[in-house]
Amino acid sequence: MQLLTPQNFADYQLIDSGDYEKLERFGKYVLRRPEPQAVWRKHFPEKEWEKRTDAYFKKEKGKNISGEGNERGEWILKSNMLQQWFINYRYKDMKLRFRLGLTAFKHVGIFPEQASNWDFIYDTVMSNVSETPPDKTAKVLNLFAYTGGASLAAKAAGADVTHVDSVKQVLNWSRENMEASGLTDIRWVLEDALKFVKREAKRGKIYQGIILDPPAYGRGSEGEKWILEENIAELMEACGTLSDKQNSFCILNLYSMGFSSLIAENLIKDYFPHYSNIDFGELFLSDEAGKKLPLSVYCRSKI
């Protein structure tokens, strides 16, 4: 079991965490957001938080949780704060650029702890590309792909990327990030992830990389209901048939607070039995006081 945190993210910093909040720097702006995992005390006093904050998320009373488990609210901004701005991420020859924005569900368009997975994707695809026949391009499928960090990492390494998400606005956001990163030709699919992989399986499609980032709750493009505990096994079974048995990788991220990394490991072993090289654990961020904030569990495997 491993604990992983980003090593190369100059444009991001977790400044402090505690009392169910986190204080983060994205580029030149510092944001204050709710964080249910931060059950300990803050390191800095309240005056320091107020002094540093450019925008904070105020939860809406009485309607804090949406049907998908997201907290609703509004952002309170200082006069110098923009609604949208850009940050960069660099790793080896990979240069990514993300447009951030303040949403009504406290998200800003990026999950910085996932940078550890972007590095893995980039390195793995670069390695796989060298082993792929010249007349073929390594194909990577990114499900529940959000604003596309993993898609951009795979594309930057030379993969043929299919990016699937059920929200049109998020798909458009991903396209902005691709263009800002100087990349092209990602395949965008607006559809329910489970429906898509079942259809791909019937078509006999094969991928050299599969990335699964399912939420605890969600809705498909036509209102399909997604509940992680009820649907994950069916999704994994369909994805297992799409995986190249000779040269491929898989990443599974789980955000449900009730799921451990051992569950992620068991799912990979069960539905991707051709993988023998497996690592699993937690993705976290460290604040200035050295406290580790856990944000997701993962399992990664490759052949």
* Ranges of each domain in the chain: 2-86, 110-302
- Asked whether 71 and 59 are in contact (CB, 8 A), the reply is yes
* Distance of alpha carbon 76 from alpha carbon 121, whole angstroms: 36
CATH 3.40.640.10 for domain 110-302, yes or no, is no
pLDDT beyond 80 at 63: no
Q: How confident is the model at residue 70 (pLDDT cuts 50, 70, 90)?
A: low
pLDDT at 66: 42
* Distance of alpha carbon 138 from alpha carbon 130, whole angstroms: 10
Q: Do domains 2-86 and 110-302 have the same CATH topology?
A: no
Q: What is the pLDDT of residues 252-278, one digit of tens each?
A: 999 866 789 999 999 999 999 999 899
Lowest pLDDT segment from 24-38, 169-183, 212-226, 228-242: 212-226
pLDDT beyond 60 at 163: yes
Roughly how many angstroms between the first and final C-alpha of the chain, as a whole number? 19
pLDDT beyond 60 at 151: yes
User: What is the fold of 2-86?
Assistant: Immunoglobulin-like (2.60.40)
pLDDT at 67: 43
Q: How confident is the model at residue 65 (pLDDT cuts 50, 70, 90)?
A: very low
Q: What is the pLDDT of residues 226-260, one digit of tens each?
A: 999 999 999 999 999 999 999 999 999 998 667 89
- Asked whether 192 and 220 are in contact (CB, 8 A), the reply is yes
pLDDT beyond 90 at 198: yes
Mean pLDDT confidence for 74-79: 94
In the chain, the percentage of residues whose pLDDT exceeds 90 is: 85
